[in-house]
A and B are shown apart, each in its own frame.
Chain A
Amino acid sequence: MTWFGLYSYWIVVVLMMVGFYIVIAQGNLVKKIVGLNIFQTSAFIFFISLAWREDGTAPIALPDVTEYANPLPHVLILTAIVVGVALTAMGLALVVRVHEAYGSIEEDDIHRQDEQQ
């Protein structure tokens, strides 16, 4: 049952595809950002999963413990989460500005307005 033991990686793959599909298929600018978030989160879960070790505990020095989870991916993902938050904020700020300029956040609408110009 090794494939079941790797279930967190299957979740990563599903989330990744769902997020990426939303980014490509959605015409709504806010929904695209949501898709991007799901896509990025799948990468974060991927990193967290690969830190796991059988019988490992939290990486704190304890007298009778020898197996620890790898702390490095956690640290990396803390950084990546911060980056992700900044990206979401930036993306949403841009959507607000687009809405002010065009009065719409639907891609089709916006392109039609640009073509009429």
Chain B
Amino acid sequence: MSEHLPALQVVIALTAAPLVMMMNRFPRLAWGVTLVTCWATLVVAVLLLLQVSDGSVIHYEMGGWAPPWGIEYRVDGANAWVLLIIGLVSAVVMPFALRSVEQEIPADRIGLFYSAFLLANAGLLGIAITNDAFNIFVFFEISALASYALIAMGRDRRAMLSSYQYLIMGTVGTTFLLIGIGFLYIMTGTLNISDLAMRLPEVTETRTIRAAFAFIAVGISLKLALFPLHLWLPNAYSFAPSMVTVFLSATATKVAIYVLLRFIYTAFGFEFSFEELSVAWVLMPLALLGIIIPSVIAVFQEDVKRLLAYSSVAQVGYMILGISFATALGLMASVVHLFNHAITKAALFMAVGCLVYRLGGVSLSRIAGVAERMPWTMAAFVVAGLSLIGVPLTAGFVTKWHLLQAALMEGLWPVAVVLLVISLVATVYIWKVVEAAYFRPAPEDAREIREAPLSLLVPTWVLTATTIIFGVWAQFPISAARNAAEALLGVPQSW
């Protein structure tokens, strides 16, 4: 049983998806099966993480075909960490989904909705676990197709259009990835990433491999919403149903960043990416612009969901910034931020989902004075908001601290200044929401509303508490991220 865990990680969700689709007439049953599936996925992810926590690597030959001919699943510290993020977020979002989805999705489509959710989940898990470049492309498309359907389920008609735009940009991104993989295949004759890593150094002097690198980097950058390729993200996140926004914001871009790391560090190798192509000189300016501009745009947003979506683009900038330092510490800061930002942003979007559940919308004028009547929801928003800003004793601080250290170690003090100033900008946009909810009087014609139901509130607080727990007790995420960084760099580090 336990030797098949890597396959089960993906297969459980993949087989549950058609089953759930057949339960379309029984929405509660469909929800129950999806819930059990997500929890099983989390258990598998935790077991895998425990197995690789000592730095070992699990190899799994799909169907018994030996790599590099067959598809290999390979779990090391880096992808076990990403699998945990996906498993954790999907397991926590499912109890939240029950009532939120019942309200936002027509009853005759709830089973189909959960089916698409499971496919998106399985696709993301597959991207993270597979060690085959073409398999990554296929799983990218599985998760993307399901996400387009999920986003289009939003109640606003603009949801359809933003899903369409995401489809166009996402497909261009994955096709670029496909072309890049084709170039790699011409030169090496292999698709297995470990195998690529061994064979690429012989041919890196060629233009084909440089073109492959460019295609792959741009394609994945579209998927991970690196500024200025982020245009699909704010619309997609602001018009999607609440539960979809929570799930995608916490997982989709993170998985794409993992793929970028896998190609930069494992397939192409540190020397080729950073020393020969100087990819850091491209990534760092884009990361800095991506931190500054979307943060400033976020300040001027009237819709809380949209505001948080722009903040997500800025947070992607932080993760890319860590990579662009080209040091072990910077890499580790990025990897730990994958997790910290996933739980923080998921908690924030869940709090927003509670508000949507009671208010129907989350423009700043509509949430005026809401804190009096929904104190627990807004308290969760404030705590998670503090973590987004990076206040000490929250998960967000752990990342900012390591990013700052990494920047100062390289002597890049202007970058450190930008990080600190943009934290202030984050304070401004979180404060805008807090000010509206706590200090503005409720509008005269406000409907009588109560606190969000417990089934929404408890998952929100579970994630909010997690941001505090991993802010105070930071050894776990830090040691896991160090393990992940070592797996990517391929050499033990002295931290």
Contacts and interface: CB of A to CB of B under 8 A. Distances in A.
Interface string B121-148: 0000000000000100110010001001
B175 interface: yes
Interface string B151-178: 0100001101101100110011001001
Interface string A88-116: 00110011011001100000001000100
A29 B182 CA distance: 29
Interface string A1-38: 00000000000000010001001000001001000100
A97 B160 contact: yes
Contacts of B431: none
Instruction: Name, among B134, B164, B167, B185, the residue most crowded by chain A CB atoms within 10 Å (CB to CB).
Output: B164
A90 to B, nearest CB: 6
B117 to A, nearest CB: 16
Contacts of A73: 182, 185
A104 to B, nearest CB: 11
B178 A43 contact: yes
A66 interface: no
A81 to B, nearest CB: 12
A43 B183 CA distance: 11
A101 B171 contact: no
Contacts of B137: 80
Instruction: Name, among B145, B149, B182, the residue most crowded by chain A CB atoms within 10 Å (CB to CB).
Output: B182
A80 B142 CA distance: 11
B449 interface: no
A50 B186 contact: yes
Given A50-B182, A76-B134, A36 B171 contact: yes
29 contacts: A16-B179, A32-B168, A36-B168, A39-B172, A39-B175, A43-B179, A46-B182, A47-B178, A50-B182, A73-B182, A79-B138, A80-B137, A83-B138, A83-B145, A87-B141, A87-B145, A90-B145, A91-B167, A91-B168, A94-B152, A94-B164, A95-B164, A97-B160, A98-B157, A98-B161, A98-B164, A101-B160, A110-B161, A114-B161
Given A20-B172, A76-B134, 16 more contacts: A39-B175, A43-B175, A46-B182, A80-B178, A83-B141, A86-B145, A87-B141, A87-B167, A90-B149, A90-B167, A91-B164, A91-B167, A94-B163, A98-B160, A98-B164, A102-B161
Report the 3 A-B pairs with minimum CB-CB distance, sorted nearest first: A101-B157, A83-B141, A94-B164
